[in-house]
Chain A
């Protein structure tokens, strides 16, 4: 039996004036590490904010953790954590004060909030800087602090909006490792929004790709990686017309790209058939580039949609 969905939306739409930020989003998302992938302005943050009731829904309906968004906001947010993309600290507070305050706002008693704030700051790898005012923190420390405040009340689901923005590669790696552990070791559902394919691939098991407010794909990472279109780019030093003719005989669509490569759709899971053709024609390839998997392809498609829009 599949677990109950943490997120369920039906025809969810959100408009800002004439601009449609979310367009008829229908999803059933089960617990896990979920990657919300898409270019900037695709609607990822709006989707999160609609679920958290930070933005009112224009039409459609949504349920989070089995409760209806819009009716049971307070109860939902008690079980949910959120780390927004932008800085949103309270000036004048030290890091540990801030996280303890957030814990109390989520309902933890004073003593427990203080203790748990320190535990979470340890978890995200913050040292003595927790006693300094937040205004003095670097971007990296602020990102850790945002993660700490989002999980301090032990939520069932945590929404992280671009948590690696502004981090150096080492910091990115550490934060992504923490996020990965949240689901894999501690069982907390993570919804990670990012415009970086690499980040999402490293952490998430389920991927939702969004572009122009529409969901292009929602599947597991394993399925998306396994899904290939049976195409390849062949780089030849000579004999391109001969190969094109051979492909035509086999009814394989073949296209000469501007860079001189031949893009051939061979409809096979492996490259063996294409290699046989090349062998028979005695055409030694300089390079064969297999087609990207569905994840990369859909992400590129999302980027193209986004660029076409701008």
Chain B
């Protein structure tokens, strides 16, 4: 039984522009990716991490208020921690701009780098929805026969990968910054933490662009829906495994890991070495603690392997581009 008039009717409306059509590809892909329960759980986990980060920022802000619950609670833990908290409070009160910027910069770095695996995992789950499924089902022909170019299709799919990273990464970062600073004792926290947020956004956007490009390349690698997520996860794990091996054998091997390379970019952007020095100069007790950091770690914080990391990622992106240009064709 037809729902509408079963005769053909010409359409008289106005067609949407090319950006809308590209967005349709991304939006539909996101909708399908979010039908996956694991993906929804990963997004929820990222947002929870954002909430935890907001909580940490709240606690940090409470250190400024001398009679706050946090100070009283820290006092009950142990005398050393109480002394540290007092120094931190004094520093926060004396140099709010430097202290807020430094501490939030460190916290955002930790959050950004250590929440990256969630995003990598989410991309792995979404891998079939990027290009693989279209290769499996020949849907690539349908895209090519519509008012889209290959570039439009790839931009739509890139936006899909980017959209997943926005949900698992950008939203929690912004959420943490807004809530954490809203709960701070002073509105000036928003202003003082602008550099930390800027670093986080710059690192985040760079990471999102690179990861989206790499994910597209891997998703175009095979016509099997299970192969591409497997390749993605194996590459990630292999990179982690290679890092200690590379330290003792060939140092260049570490650049085969995209997560290592991204970490180096993170270190270069957040410039943690400078922050630690500032903290060390202002809080003597912290200086004592920081002096115990291993020289290798200190060197890594001060001089990240930026050139090697950029070269490694650049080569990976070129390889991804070659795979896409070879595989993503109508026939």
Query: Which chain B residues lie closer than 8 Å to A82 at the CB level?
Result: 145
Task: Verify if B137 is at the interface (C-beta below 8 Å from A).
Answer: yes
Given contacts A88-B137, A91-B137, contact A123 B8 (CB under 8 A): yes
B137 touches A54 (CB 8 A): no
Q: Mark A181-206, 1 if CB is under 8 A from B, else 0.
A: 11001100000000000000000000
**Count of inter-chain pairs, beta carbons less than 8 A:** 121
Give chain B nearest CB distance to A41 CB in angstroms. 15
Do B137 and A106 touch across chains, with their CB atoms under 8 A apart?
no
A116 to B15, CA, bound (A): 13
* Contact flag A112-B330 (CB < 8 Å), given A88-B141, A89-B137: no
CB < 8 Å neighbour of A106 from B4, B6, B146: B146
Which residues of chain B are within 8 angstroms of A49 by Cβ–Cβ distance? 330-331
One digit per residue, 1 when the CB lies within 8 angstroms of any chain A CB and 0 when it does not, for chain B 106-145 equals 0000000000000000000000000001101111111111
Give residues 248-263 of B contacting A (CB, 8 Å).
none
Central interface residue in B138, B141, B143, B147, by most chain A CB within 10 Å: B147
Query: What chain A residues lie within 8 Å of B5 (beta carbons)?
Result: 119, 122
Number of residues from B at the complex interface, CB < 8 A: 42
Among A97-105, A210-218, A222-230, A253-261, the one that faces the other chain is A97-105
Tell yes or no: A86 within 8 A of B by CB. yes
The complex places the Cα of A77 from the Cα of B25 at a distance, in Å, of 17
Give the CA-CA distance A115 to B4 in the complex, in Å.
9
Q: What residues of A have a CB within 8 angstroms of the CB of B4 in the complex?
A: 115, 118-119, 122
Q: Are B11 and A54 in contact, with the CB atoms below 8 A?
A: no
Whether A88 contacts B142 in the complex (CB less than 8 A), given A104-B24, A107-B15, comes out as: yes
Docked-complex contact A119 and B9, CB < 8 angstroms: yes
Q: Which of A149-157, A231-239, A243-251, A281-289 lines the interface with chain B? A: A149-157
B16 at the interface (CB under 8 A from A): yes
How distant is A68 from chain B, measured CB to nearest CB, in Å? 15
Q: Does A11 contact B (CB under 8 A)?
A: no
- Also in contact, A92 and B24, with CB within 8 A (given A49-B331, A74-B147): no
Interface residues of A in 33-82 (CB under 8 A from B): 49, 52-55, 73-75, 77-78, 80-82
Q: Is the CB of A74 within 8 A of B11?
A: no
Q: Are A149 and B138 in contact (CB under 8 A)?
A: no
- For this complex, 7 residue pairs linking A to B, each with C-beta atoms less than 8 Å apart, are A54-B330, A54-B331, A86-B141, A104-B24, A107-B147, A122-B6, A153-B15
